[in-house]
Amino acid sequence: MRLGLVIGFVLTTVLVVIVSRNYNPYLLVLLLLPVFYLIGMYRAFTSNARKVKRDARSLEKTFITVLLRDAVVIDSVVWQDKNRGSFLKALSIILAAAGKKVVLYDCQYRELTNTAKAAIEQFQAQDIITLAPADISPAAAEEGVAPPPEILALGSAASASRNVVLVSDSRELIAQARKAMKKRKTGLTVIDSLDDLEAACRNYCAAVDGQKVIPLAGRR
């Protein structure tokens, strides 16, 4: 795109020089061709830039008004999945820009791989995550079987929030979460379209890295 603009500009400049030295009405027609080309390239460039910014603001709005509005629990699988790297990176960017933190409960942290713990250490270095003990009570287990750590984390989050958010695409875990939160009479928001979210986050991170957008511009 940028190369096309440069080429169009060079061609226009050359033709202007030629026309100025040797006036010819036919040359004027030729001069209009790169001018129209430049106009078209500029419109395409600005249209793409607007789309990038619009998509970035849409993703930020989703994070701020949905994912980070209430206490959030991220499935341990997501923390450990290399294919969710863009989501975690976008999360860290938006958390830092908004001055917010997420809470990770120890019942989840203990079960994470060293690679996932290294990613969490990066979150800690940016002061955008808090490690907290889970509120594990006898009532937390159902029929003597301890629930998954994510369910324990949701129970702890629910003690401080009327609604909790679960980021997971596991049908089984989501079903357990709905059952557990219904018993606690706590609202549950599920974010499960992780493939679509990952793609949006990948584009967002590329736009931020390329300095095409400023995280949460205008929200501070």
Q: Rounded CA gap, 190 and 181, in Å?
A: 12
C-alpha distances in angstroms, 133 versus 29, 46, 153?
75, 49, 9
Least confident among 17-26, 57-66, 171-180: 17-26
Using the 8-state DSSP alphabet, how is residue 142 labeled? B
Q: Rounded CA gap, 127 and 98, in Å?
A: 12
Least Cα distance to 168 among 96, 95, 81, 56 occurs for: 81
What integer is the mean pLDDT of 48-59?
89
What integer is the mean pLDDT of 22-34?
56
What integer is the mean pLDDT of 36-43?
61
Position 146 scores a pLDDT of 74
Least Cα distance to 129 among 171, 160, 95, 86 occurs for: 95
Residue 39 has pLDDT above 70, yes or no: no
Residue type at 125 in one-letter notation? A
Each residue's pLDDT tens digit, 156-194: 999 888 999 999 999 999 999 999 999 999 999 999 999
Could you count the other beta carbons within 10 Å of the beta carbon of residue 36? 10
Phi, psi at 162, each rounded to 5°: -80, -15
Rounded to the nearest integer, the mean pLDDT of the chain is: 84
Residue type at 215 in one-letter notation? P
Residue 219 has pLDDT above 90, yes or no: no
Each residue's pLDDT tens digit, 94-130: 999 999 999 999 999 999 999 999 999 999 999 999 9
C-alpha distances in angstroms, 214 versus 53, 100, 172, 197, 220?
9, 17, 38, 19, 12
Position 15 scores a pLDDT of 52
Model confidence at 19, pLDDT cuts 50, 70, 90, reads low
pTM (two decimals) = 0.77
What is the fold of 68-209? Rossmann fold (3.40.50)
Position 28 scores a pLDDT of 52
Each residue's pLDDT tens digit, 127-164: 999 999 998 665 554 545 678 999 999 999 998 889 99
Position 135 scores a pLDDT of 80
Position 50 scores a pLDDT of 85
